[in-house]
Amino acid sequence: MNPLRTVAQPVIIAEPAYLLKRGIAALVSDMVRTDVLFIDDMGELNSHLDKNKVHAVFIDEQLLTDKPSTDLFFQLKEQTLYVGLSANPGQIRHKNKFDAVMDRSGTKEELVAAVESVLQPGTGESDKAGSLLSSREQEVLKEVALGYTNQQIAAKLYISRHTVISHRKNITAKLGIKTVSGLTVYAVLNGLIPKDQIR
Amino acid sequence: MMGKNTVTSDMKMAEVIHMNYLLLPVINRFGIKLGFGDKTVEKVCRDHGLNLSFFLDIVNTYHDPSYFPRDKMRGYPATLIIDYLLQSHEYYNRTMLPEAEGMIEKLVSTCSGHCEDLRLIEDFYRKYKEELQNHLSGEEIHFFPYVRALVEGKTGGKDLETLRREYNFSYQAHADEHESVIAKLVDLKNILIKYLPPDYDVEVCNNLLYWLFIFEDDLKDHERLEDVILLPVLENIEQQFRNQQ
């Protein structure tokens, strides 16, 4: 087994539900060696973020109800990764401010994938672009490039929509490409789909 | 927050450019052109009838990513911010987008092998350009006039929801568009950097990439000014409007 990567700056978990916060902490500790802090008071959290460098914050969207403290929370801290926790990740508020969103009721596999996509993003070590992706990720990418929605891809590949979303997050983290049109260009350049199949 | 590299009112404008030549187009947006002699920033601003404090804050936010005095900047009149944003739009439309397009066309025309692949990237860029232009003109036609109407009290006795509908403005749609235009630019850069087929002209592509990096930084600063300064200012204006009704 590879030794765990060490992350010098701590990870903060801002989640009032005890089991959930312990669970996320366990997932994080499985993936990287780092300090984990639990802060679920927005005032305390903002003051900590103001004074310290933080690698990532996992925050429950329920804590983001008060506008001034939410604005302060999202003030540009470019090196910090923001992960939102929501019961309904598709509808999470401030969606575009998060680097990743986790489903509070997700399966272990989905949660691991989400934590991985944030803490172990692809570093582009391999020169062979196509080999960066797992075969499942390549299948999902192909469908994305062909213009199918997450729901349609889930039905075609017999997986849940959340799993499709997890794969897509991983694809984006590995390739450094986020938009459907960008992924389509990648898929054609790498021979995953022929050019004439682009919608 | 003033670092030693902060642009200050007593600096000579020429020094500012020596310190960071990427500020040139930003300064141009205020109607300032080269040939400042030994004039200080303050003198140049006075000669051009500019708000010195606003000029310094804009220049410094572009110059230093850690410089961003939110509360102070939220105190500037919305119309002053909009006037500046409009000048940036013009720069993107007149210079940034066509220059990048020209470079991509050259990249395709100098291709010596997998030209199909480069054409794909050209298509991607063309669609991106169209999307960004639509976004910019949407702001010019709907968003900015909506803010101006509220500021100037030209609301015709209508309520906020009606006005928003008439000006086709929604915070969510605005945020989504911003996210998309930045994400596609980042994608384009990564496609070139990581996945470009090898048969291309190195010099042309390097120039294109330099240009895209500058464009991305400019666009991000521009959108930060809208999202973190102008939108909260607008929310205040909307609140005042509600209170008056």
Q: Cα(B142)–Cα(B138) distance, rounded to whole angstroms?
A: 6
Interface of B with A in 200-229 (CB under 8 A): 224, 228
What pLDDT shows up at residue A1? 42
Residues of chain A neighbouring B187 (CB-CB closer than 8 A) = 176-179, 181-183, 185
Query: A58: part of which helix (H) or strand (E)?
Result: strand A56-60
Cβ distance of B68 and A178 shorter than 8 Å: no
- The reported pLDDT for the residue numbered A101 is 82
Instruction: Name beta bridge partners: A81.
Output: A56
Domain-wise residue ranges, chain A: 5-119, 129-197
Mean pLDDT, residues A27-37 taken together: 83
Task: Give the count of beta carbons closer than 10 Å to the beta carbon of residue B139.
Answer: 21
ipTM score for this prediction:
0.86
Query: Average pLDDT, stretch B150-177?
Result: 92
Q: Tens of pLDDT along A116-125?
A: 777 765 433 3
Name every chain A residue with its beta carbon within 8 A of the beta carbon of B199. Answer: none
Q: Do A178 and B183 touch (CB under 8 A)?
A: yes
Q: Flag if A176 and B194 touch (Cβ within 8 Å).
A: yes
Beta-sheet pairing, A100-103 with A5-6 = unpaired
Q: Is A78 on the interface with B (CB under 8 A)?
A: yes
Sign of CA dihedral A107, A113, A117, A120: positive
User: Average pLDDT, stretch B35-45?
Assistant: 96
How close A110 gets to chain B, by Cα (Å)?
A: 24
Q: What are the tens digits of pLDDT across the range B165-176?
A: 999 999 999 999
Fold of the domain spanning A129-197: Arc Repressor Mutant, subunit A (1.10.10)
Taking the domains of chain B in order of start, what are their residue ranges? 13-68, 76-244
Q: Are A40 and A14 in contact (CB under 8 A)?
A: yes
Radius of gyration, CA atoms only, chain A: 18
User: Which fold, A5-119?
Assistant: Rossmann fold (3.40.50)
